[in-house]
Amino acid sequence: MTTADSAIIARATAWLGDSFDSDTRNRVQHLIEHEPEELTDSFYRHLEFGTGGLRGIMGVGTNRMNKYTVGMATQGLANYVLKAFPGINLKAAIAYDVRNNSRYFAEITAEVLSANGIEVYLFDDIRPTPLLSFAIRLLGCHTGVMVTASHNPKEYNGYKVYWNDGAQLVSPHDKNVIAEVQQISSPADVAFTAHQDLIHTIGEEIDNVYVASLKTLSLSPEINERFSHMKIVFTPIHGTGVHLVPRLLRAFGFNNIIPIPSQDMPDGNFPTVHSPNPEEPEALTLALKKAKEVNADIVLATDPDGDRVGVAVRDHHGEFVLLNGNQTATVIIYYLLTKWKEKGWLIGKEYIVKTIVTSELLIEMANKFGVESYDVLTGFKYIAEVIRNLEGKKKFIGGGEESYGYLVGDFSRDKDAVIACCIIAEAAAWAASQGKSFFEVLLDIYMEFGFYKEKLLSVTKKGKAGAEAIVALMERYRNNPPQRLAGTNVVGLKDYKLQQDKNLVSGSIKTIDLPTSDVLQFFLEDGSKITIRPSGTEPKIKFYFGIKGILTSKQEFDSINKRMEDRINRIIEDMKV
């Protein structure tokens, strides 16, 4: 039997001390004696507290989500909040999702924050992430924590940290919190003994304000009433959307909501799916089956923490198809812009926001409507940062990212699948009022603004050698950019690491006014865009392909779509991915 490294054994042995409970000590002793590989994985490093917080497999050890790693992270957060807001009665909100141990980790977080004199508002049951963001602002909190691992497998849990604007941490707070967390060297540094009088339970009263607020974002209540019978299949995939999504859909006027009973049961084991990720077709298998049985109009599926939504609609052949994140964002933004224009709300101070890897079609539409648009780095916290910086100056309409996250209105400051589901349903009703389907509206947009087709390719390169290969790949593309791709000239290069926007025809260089990030973008003379970005959380390098074509009629869609798919494949070949 293999044995663990001596340094790892020494680190594990420290967890046999009196600072740890008996269950933890017994489990660590078992790993030392019988499971060297698991011991190594559990203790070979400290679970990283990144810019978004914690995320990892649950279990004992420094590299696991457990009472002690959560407590140490929370102590570091408390230390920074106390420094950032000196002499103030501090408040924090905490919510949690359906995952195993989420309630337990939420309680640990509440206890540590209260032990540091911070007043805590802890939700009484599971809630979606956007409601935590909303509650922070509603209650005037200085920080907040959402216990979730989003759509990761069931073995994982996580911990996302929010600031007083209801958004996830951005600079300088992200780096400052990380620095404080790194100063906590052992559980002995953590104040675990709660001040119970500082911990308050919150629940339905917050839900009621949230639902009432989001209901005001409906743009076509009279159309919704006409199409209240529209068949909507909805699944929360065992997650937090189970109550609030149907409730808000009904508040919007939609009464024919068809559930998937087996997936309405909150369950951190996600028993009916391989992965609770609405980006993956398998996660919508049961919903699509039900949709076909009942002849539904639309399918909506939210992820475990209720911040992202997958959509399926009938295409021009009457068959259900899954929309990608860019397609859903396109129809959402087009619908919002159209209705705002009809209502006379576009007066020159409105804007949308998207991430740099999201379709350029959103910018094309905004330009046509005379609405300003902003591009930000990947991560919804950057969309929220724009909203915060422009608050009181300009009006946010909506925004989104290609990874199925959207926000309408600014009541929350994170992606919000609850309001997104309702606006998607409303857009479908609006389309029906014109004798069209949701998909036909998308085709109309393609005919008016250009046919934008996107594809994501993730390449996994594990281990030290893989990490080095990713670095080398980025440097190759950075230092030797392709001149032509699929027979089309590359005319622009944006290097977000060097913060340079290069015109490869004229040679001119502009400065990119965004934080540095190891991302490259190539722009082709036909309007196509290729983005290369190493993942910050996985051993992957991601290639985002967005190409632009012309669609003159709906009848041509299939042939043009196939031609564009072939074009993307030629670009992939040319880039030697």
Show which residues are catalytic. Answer: 150
The answer to whether 84 and 76 are in contact (CB under 8 A) is no
Query: What Å distances lie between residue 456 and 136, 242, 279, 324, 542, CA to CA?
Result: 34, 29, 11, 10, 7
- Bridge partners of residue 501, in order along the sequence: 494, 510
Whole-angstrom Cα distance, residue 289 to residue 309? 18
Measured N-to-C along each axis, helices 417-433 and 325-342 cross at an angle, to the nearest 10 degrees, of 70
**Residue among 405, 353, 379, 415 at smallest CA distance from 170:** 379
Residue 412 Cα to chain centre, angstroms: 13
Whole-angstrom Cα distance, residue 303 to residue 277? 6
Residue 279 Cα to chain centre, angstroms: 11
SS3 at position 282: helix
- Dihedral angle at the C-alpha atoms of 241, 282, 408, 386, nearest 10 degrees? 110
Cα dihedral across residues 32, 38, 40, 46: positive or negative: negative
Kindly calculate the radius of gyration of the chain based on its CA atoms and give it in whole angstroms.
24
Q: Torsions phi, psi of 310, nearest 5?
A: -100, 150
Six-digit token string for 526: 């036909």
Whole-angstrom Cα distance, residue 168 to residue 145? 9
Six-digit token string for 60: 């004992």
Whole-angstrom Cα distance, residue 185 to residue 67? 15
**Residue among 234, 248, 222 at smallest CA distance from 284:** 234
- Cβ-proximal residues to 257 (8 Å cutoff; 6+ apart), any chain: 232, 234, 246, 249, 250
With residue 472 as reference, give the H or E element that holds it: helix 463-479
Whole-angstrom Cα distance, residue 195 to residue 112? 9
**Residue among 319, 299, 294 at smallest CA distance from 309:** 299
DSSP one-letter code for 47 = P
- Cβ-proximal residues to 342 (8 Å cutoff; 6+ apart), any chain: none
The answer to whether 249 and 421 are in contact (CB under 8 A) is yes
Label each residue of 441-458 as H, E or C.
HHHHHHHHHCEEEEEEEE
Six-digit token string for 457: 């390719």
- Bridge partners of residue 548, in order along the sequence: 452
- Bridge partners of residue 502, in order along the sequence: 493, 509
The answer to whether 102 and 281 are in contact (CB under 8 A) is no
